[in-house]
Amino acid sequence: MRKNIVAGNWKMNKNHMEGARLASEILDGLRGRDIGCEVILFPTFTTISSVIDVVKGSAISVGGQNLYSERDGAFTGEISAEMLKNLGCQYVLVGHSERRNIFGEDSVFLSKKLRIALEYGLFPLFCVGELLEQREAGKAGEVVEKQLKDVLNGLGGDEISRVTIAYEPVWAIGTGKTATASDAANMHSLIRDVIKSIFGSEISQRMIIMYGGSVKAGNAAQLLNEPDIDGALVGGAALKADSFLKIIYASAK
Ligand code: PGA
């Protein structure tokens, strides 16, 4: 049985004081509850430390929103896997559509990032998803399959076992438009088939595949009810404790 993960991607929001406050409100909302899912917060780099101070010893994990593809060196402005790991991060986002589309990150680069994250013992949350024109052209499945194969092919069994996937249709991110539960479920099952074709059935059945793109308190239960949707990667609605907590409460499998 796969567990659900509910993760908050704070993007470039919340300074270290605001982040600590939000983390402590989320912690308060979870206290004394059997939440039955894993909760991860992805604050911006400068906010990570203060969030870790707040959630230390609790069930909440913390991750980085990005990392660089090299171990160390002259890469001004970049953050390494080792730095995240030493700070106390367990997870890192790789391949978020904003990295792909605003910063031009391609599969070759993402592949290196994912591998270096694994090398340093981080759990990569690998994001895939199609653009609106690709969906309208009937190419969504093809695009997502290629994104998966280009980066995941060649990983060993224990490497892929530490990867989590998030399907985030780009047209649904921050737009208020959500994939219908059945469209999302279809894509999740296609993703599981792709994983199966590369890594076999056992690994594909264990793979956690989250959905992201305008997940809110009002639509979370319906999405998370789909057997192939194992959680939510939440942007906008993760910036307020109240709406994020409602999504967590809705995720009990
Ligand atoms: P959103 O963002 O929930 O604001 O659509 C999701 C994401 O980008 O991970």
Residue tagged active-site, from 98, 130, 168, 188: 168
Tens digits of residue pLDDT in 2-11? 999 999 999 9
Contact yes or no for 63/125 (Cβ under 8 A): yes
Tens digits of residue pLDDT in 35-44? 889 999 999 9
Average pLDDT over residues 237-242: 98
Respond yes or no: is residue 96 known to be catalytic: yes
Beta bridge partners of 124: 92
Contact yes or no for 68/35 (Cβ under 8 A): no
Among 234, 240, 243, 244, name the best residue to mutate to test ligand 1's pocket (greatest count of ligand atoms within 8 A of Cβ): 234
Contact yes or no for 165/207 (Cβ under 8 A): yes
Ligand 1 binding pocket, CB closer than 6 Å: 9, 168, 173-174, 212-215, 233-237
The per-residue pLDDT for 214 is: 93
If you measure from the C-alpha of residue 234 to the centroid of ligand 1, how many angstroms do you get, rounded to a whole number? 5
Average pLDDT over residues 129-158: 96
Average pLDDT over residues 22-30: 97
The per-residue pLDDT for 178 is: 84
Task: Indicate the pTM of the whole model.
Answer: 0.97
Structure tokens at 150: 């280009």
Measured from the CA of 98, which atom of ligand 1 is nearest? 8
Q: Which of 72, 25, 64 is nearest to 47 (CA)?
A: 64
Measured from the CA of 9, which atom of ligand 1 is nearest? 9
The per-residue pLDDT for 252 is: 72
Average pLDDT over residues 159-179: 92
Respond yes or no: is residue 168 known to be catalytic: yes
Beta bridge partners of 91: 63, 123
If you measure from the C-alpha of residue 231 to the centroid of ligand 1, how many angstroms do you get, rounded to a whole number? 13
Residue 253 has pLDDT above 70, yes or no: no
The per-residue pLDDT for 221 is: 94
Q: How many folded domains does the chain comprise?
A: 1
If you measure from the C-alpha of residue 9 to the centroid of ligand 1, how many angstroms do you get, rounded to a whole number? 7
Residue 203 confidence class, pLDDT cut points 50, 70, 90: very high
Query: Which CATH number belongs to the domain containing residue 124 in this structure?
Result: 3.20.20.70
| φ/ψ (deg, to 5) at 63 | -140, 165
Tens digits of residue pLDDT in 89-140? 999 999 999 999 999 999 999 999 999 999 999 999 999 999 999 999 999 9
Q: Which residue's CA is minimally distant from atom 7 of ligand 1? A: 235
Q: Which domain holds residue 195?
A: 4-249
If you measure from the C-alpha of residue 6 to the centroid of ligand 1, how many angstroms do you get, rounded to a whole number? 12
